[in-house]
Amino acid sequence: MERRPTRSEHEALKAIYRATVDGNAASTGDLAHALGLTPGTVTATVKRLAEHGLVLHTPYHGVELTAPGRRTAVAAIRRHRIVERFLSDMLGYSWNEASELAGSFEFELPAEVEERLFVALHRPDTCPHGFPIPAPEVDRLPQLPPLPSLEPGQRAVVALPGSTEPEVAAFLETLGLRPGVEIELREKHPFDGPLVLRVGGRDRTLGFNLAQQIYVSVLAYDGPAGESESP
C-alpha cells in the first residue's frame, strides 16, 4: 500500500509548492519561516519526503518537488480550498477566518468526504479568497497575477491571500476590495506610483506596495479608455 504523507509532511509539501512556483528551489530556512518551525525540524521533514520520492533536496541548492510530490501538494491545496469554501458558504465564517480553521481538520477528511463536500457546494471554481480550486489529479495551479500587472481598461476579480494581515484586510474592506469583487483599473502612475481602481461604481486610489498584495483573475481587456483591442 502506498504510504500516505503525515499532516506535517502535507503542510511541508504545500509550502514547498508555493515557494517553488516560480521555478526556483526553496531553501530550508525559507520553508521554516513559512511553516513557523525550526530549520532542523524542516530538514528532517524534507529528508523523509525525499526518501519517499516526493522531493529532491540538493545541498546548497535547495528543495524541489518531484512529479508525484507536485501532484500530492496540489491535491492538498485543493482539499484546503474546498474545506475553506465549506466553512465560508455553509458555516458562515469570513474569508479570512476560513484558512486557519480549515488547516485544523482538513487532513482528517477521507477522500470520499472531500468529494461529497465539493458536490454539495455545487462544484465551486474558487475558494473564499478568490483563488482557483484545481481539478483532481492535476499537478499545477493556475497562477493569478498581482493587481499592478493590469493595464488601464482591464477588468478583473479580486483574490486575497489567507495570510493577509487583519488590519490590511479591514482597510481594503473600507475601499470595497474583498475577494470576488470585480474591479477595473482606470489609471496606473509610473515608477511604482499609485493605482486608480473602479470599485462598486466609485474610483479608489491604492498605493503600489499595497496593490502588490492583491491578486486578480483577469476578465477582459478593452484597451485604454474603453477602446477595443486589435484582433
For position 96, what pLDDT does the model report? 86
Q: Is residue 176 part of a domain?
A: yes
- How far is CA 158 from its chain centroid? 12
Task: Tell me if 33 is assigned to some domain.
Answer: yes
In angstroms, rounded to a whole number, what is the distance separating the alpha carbons of residues 130 and 178? 9
The amino acid at residue 112 is E
- CATH number of the domain to which 22 belongs: 1.10.10.10
For the entire predicted model, the pTM comes to 0.87
Structural domain span for residue 48 = 7-65
Q: Say how far apart CA 180 and CA 141 lie, in whole Å.
A: 18
With a CB cutoff of 8 Å and minimum separation 6, the contacts of 95 are: 84, 88, 128, 129, 160, 178, 179
Last residue of a domain, one of 18, 34, 65: 65
Q: Is 109 helix (H, G, I), strand (E, B) or coil?
A: coil
The answer to the question of residue 221 being in a domain is: yes
Q: Last residue of a domain, which of 31, 48, 65?
A: 65
Decide: helix, strand or coil at residue 185.
Answer: strand
- Count of domains forming the chain: 2
What residues have CB less than 8 Å from 171, skipping those under 6 apart? none
181-229 pLDDT, tens digit each: 999 999 999 999 999 999 999 999 999 999 999 999 999 665 554 443 3
- Burial of 109: CB neighbours in 10 Å, binned 0-12, 13-18, 19+: middle
Name residue 179's amino acid: P
101-156 pLDDT tens trace: 998 899 989 999 999 999 999 999 999 999 999 999 899 999 999 999 999 999 99
Last residue of a domain, one of 65, 80, 97: 65
Which three cell numbers, joined as nine digits, stand for 59? 545541498
- Asked if residue 99 belongs to a domain, the reply is no
